[in-house]
Every structure is written in structure tokens, then in C-alpha cells.
Amino acid sequence: MGYENVADIFSQISRLYDRFLSTATAGQVHSWQRELISRMNPYGNWLDVGTGTGEVLKKLGDRYEGLRVGIDPAFGMLRVAKGKCPDCFFLQALGEELPFKDKSFKNVSLSLVFRHLQDKERFIEEAKRVLEEGGKVGIIDIGRFRGTPVLLFLMRTILKPVGSLLFGKEKWDFFIHSVEESYSLEEVRSIFEGKGFCLEYSNRRFFGVVQVAVFVRTA
């Protein structure tokens, strides 16, 4: 699926998105995002890639020192984000082509986005370019784990009628595909370490389904 189709899908669900995510994670997503924030640099410009409705930037709060910038290819998501977080800056852009100068940020976050990136290595090179010395990349994502085949089975069977009813069949199939695309922490770590980052922190949440990981730019 091309970038434009992905952006369309997320734009179309932008109004439902926050409520759906909160329900689907039993409200846990908020504590994963707070955990990620607590492990990042507590200062400097912050870039949230695939910002969606801007929740990570909103949780950083108005008193965060440094610019809060969100990018996303889905314009509908950005419109919701701007309504929730009027002091943040939002741009329509892709993680694989960051429209920023070198060393512009101290933190780059991705909440539930990494598996959607179509060129993960290109994103990591871009993140490294826009990060200052000691800059961090923080990721929350559904990771590949022992229960992934069960989760996929449920999405294809029991959850399918509700998912298809809420989002439409094409979008539900896209979500199934994005879970198929998930990486284990070891795989993510190996890609980052090959590109000049080291793993500083990791944790599993939600019965091991969700990974929180922070990488520091070393080279």
C-alpha cells in the first residue's frame, strides 16, 4: 500500500481514533506514552513522527522547554492534533524524509508508528541526521512476540466483524497487515545498532504485546 493510501486511511478514522485507541488498550496507551516521555531527554526540541492526533506532544505539556513538532502524512490526523495542541507545530511529512536541518532536535518519538514506516532504515538515517549529540529516539509499538499468531488469528476471526464494521473491511485488513509487519525488539535493536544508536531502555507492556524502547545516538 502506498503512502497516500495509508494517509487516507488514517485521515478517515481521525475523529474516531482517540476513543478507539483508548478503548482498545483499556486506557493503557496513556501510561505507555508517559513512560516513554519519562525516559527521553527532558529538554530540547522534540519531534513526534507519525504524531496522529498529537497525544505525545500534548502529554509533554505547555511548559516543556523546546519546540514541540509533529509530522504525519495524514492531514485529517494533523487537523485533530492542532485542535488539541494549538501551541505545537505540525507538518504534513513522512518519517523517511524529514523536512528539517541537521541537528535540529534532542528527541524523536514514534508512538505506534514504527511498523507503519515503509523504509525503516531510511527513517533511522534521517532521525540520526536531525538529532543533536546525545539525541534519543523513543519508540512505542506492537512488537512481534510469541502471542502474535494468536492476535492475528483473533483479528482475522472474532474481532473482524467489529473491526470491519467500525473501520470498513479495507482498513481492517490494513491493520492486520500492520501487525504482520511488526518486529521483535531484537530485530529493531539490530537495525538501530547498525546505524549508530545504542539501546538505553526497553520494557514490555500489555502482556508483552507492546514494546517501549529508547535508543541513544552514539556515532
Ligand X SMILES: C[S@@+](CC[C@H](N)C(=O)[O-])C[C@H]1O[C@@H](n2cnc3c(N)ncnc32)[C@H](O)[C@@H]1O
Task: Please give the residue ranges that form the binding site for ligand X (CB under 6 A).
Answer: 6-7, 10, 21, 49-52, 55, 72-74, 77, 94-96, 111-113, 116-118
Q: Which is nearer to ligand X, 2 or 133 (CB)?
A: 2
Q: How far is the CB of 86 from ligand X (least distance, A)?
A: 18
Q: Give dist(CA 215, CA 200) in Å, integer.
A: 5
From the CB of 17, what's the least distance to ligand X, in Å?
7
Q: Which ranges of 65-159 does DSSP label H, i.e. alpha helix? A: 75-84, 120-130, 148-156
| Spatial CA neighbour of 215 closest among 40, 29, 9, 7 | 40
Distance in angstroms (rounded) separating the CA atoms of residues 36 and 95: 19
Q: Outline where DSSP puts E strands in the chain.
A: 46-49, 68-72, 89-92, 105-111, 131-142, 197-205, 210-217
Between 171 and 204, CB nearer to ligand X: 171
Nearest in space to 166 (alpha carbons), one of 16, 5, 26, 1 = 16
Residue 189 beta carbon to ligand X: minimum distance, rounded to whole angstroms? 21
- Is 50 or 163 the residue whose CB approaches ligand X more closely? 50
We find the least distance from the C-beta atom of residue 109 to ligand X, in angstroms, to be 8
Please, which residue, 21 or 137, has the CB nearer to ligand X? Answer: 21
